[in-house]
Each structure stands twice: as C-alpha cells, then as structure tokens.
Chain A
Amino acid sequence: GAVVSQHPSWVICKSGTSVKIECRSLDFQATTMFWYRQFPKQSLMLMATSNEGSKATYEQGVEKDKFLINHASLTLSTLTVTSAHPEDSSFYICSAEGREGVYEQYFGPGTRLTVT
C-alpha cells in the first residue's frame, strides 16, 4: 500500500533556529501534499497545500514566510519552520494524494517539534 514517511519523527531546537521537516511518498507519486498541524488533544488543522512545481497555498492565518514549503519533486515536500519560537511547538503531519486520482490522502506518521 501507499506509504508516506516523515523525517525527523521528533526534533528539539532552540528558539530562533530553523527546522526542516521532510515528507516523502515512498511508493507512489504525489502531485499534491498537505501539511497539517495538531496541538495537544486537538484536531488537525490544515496549514497549506503543496503542489509539485508550484507555490504552496497557505490557509488563512498561516505565515508563509515562517512556514516555508517546497514541493520540489513528486515524492518530496519539505516544511521549514524558520526562526522557531516555543509557540511553534506542535505535531506536524503531512499527507500525500495519489497522482493517478486514487482518492485517498495517505498520512505520514507526524513530526513532533519542541522549541525550547
């Protein structure tokens, strides 16, 4: 079945530094990938939609200069949290949609970011 991986699974960084999170579709090509954020005991909230070869579309209230998304290939999207602050600490989950229109979003295992 379709598998999506995320790396790293867990990262701690100091305030003011940047962190890059990778999302890879391992056995299929993903034209579209989505980035979600989940606060403790809350639901997933979409941050942005990433399309291969084009700029990401950000949801209202999400700072595009802070959360840089790059979807450089059909199997890789990256989320970079720039100048991270403690309030950016969260669980970040990506998902990928199959290129052949097989409709399901395959979710990665998530990345736990802690900013100290």
Chain B
Amino acid sequence: AQSVTQPDIHITVSEGASLELRCNYSYGATPYLFWYVQSPGQGLQLLLKYFSGDTLVQGIKGFEAEFKRSQSSFNLRKPSVHWSDAAEYFCAVGALGNQFYFGTGTSLTVIP
C-alpha cells in the first residue's frame, strides 16, 4: 500500500541552526517525491521535487532533499533556518495520473 510517514509531528529549532525533516514512503512503483510548505491558512507551496537522476535535489528558500532508495526516504534539510521558515511541511509521493499521498506533516517552530 502507498503511504508516507513523517515521524516528527513537531520540531523546534533555534534560528540559524540546521534542520532535517524526515520522510519515509511506501510506494509500489518508482515514486515521484515532493516536499511542500504550508503557512497557516494558506495553500501549498512546492519546495522541491524528485523525479529521477541526481538523488540530491535543490529547492527554493535554501532547502534540499536527498532521495535514498535503499531507505525509502526523502529527507528535507536546510543548513541554517530562518524565522520565516516556521510553517507546516508536507512530504508527498505520487505518479503520473495518480493521486498524491501526503504525510501527516511536520510543524516547525523557530526560536529566535
């Protein structure tokens, strides 16, 4: 069955510290993987996506993610967090013509 797991419901980091948000997936075929960010009351903004090729992908706002097939993981990282990064982060997996499966989200709090 297709599923996405984000083990961390809530993470708190200090501004300037590094960040890693975990994502594990289960998918029957080669997945397309995505990370989205959602601010309160807002829609989803795509941070980055992985289709194929280089397993380290760069996204917007200084985020990057690494696809590890052996671990079925697609963790999101940022070397130095800014206060404006506080939001809800969703990992998603999908394929052409099919629905996206979303993780339950990780809420990020940034301490000044």
Contacts and interface: CB of A to CB of B under 8 A. Distances in A.
Interface of A: 6, 32, 34, 41-46, 49, 91, 93, 95, 97, 101, 103-105, 107-110, 112
Most chain A CB atoms below 10 A, which of B34, B95, B99, B100: B99
30 contacts: A6-B43, A41-B107, A42-B104, A42-B105, A43-B90, A43-B104, A43-B105, A44-B44, A44-B90, A44-B100, A44-B102, A45-B102, A46-B99, A49-B99, A91-B41, A97-B96, A97-B97, A103-B32, A103-B51, A103-B95, A103-B96, A104-B49, A105-B100, A107-B36, A107-B43, A107-B44, A107-B46, A108-B43, A110-B43, A112-B41
CB-CB nearest 8 A-B residue pairs = A109-B43, A107-B44, A110-B43, A43-B102, A43-B104, A46-B99, A44-B102, A103-B96
Interface residues of B, number: 22
Contacts of A107: 36, 43-44, 46
Interface in B1-45: 32, 34, 36, 41-44
Q: Is the interface of B mostly helix, strand, loop or mixed?
A: loop
Contacts of B104: 42-43
Nearest to B4: A43
A67 to B, nearest CB: 16
Contacts, number: 46
Interface string B98-112: 011011110100000
A44 B49 CA distance: 18
Nearest to B43: A109
A26 to B, nearest CB: 14
Contacts of B102: 43-45
Contacts of A46: 99-100
Contacts of A44: 44, 90, 100, 102
Contacts of B42: 109-110
Contact of B99 (A34, A42, A101): A34
Nearest to B32: A103
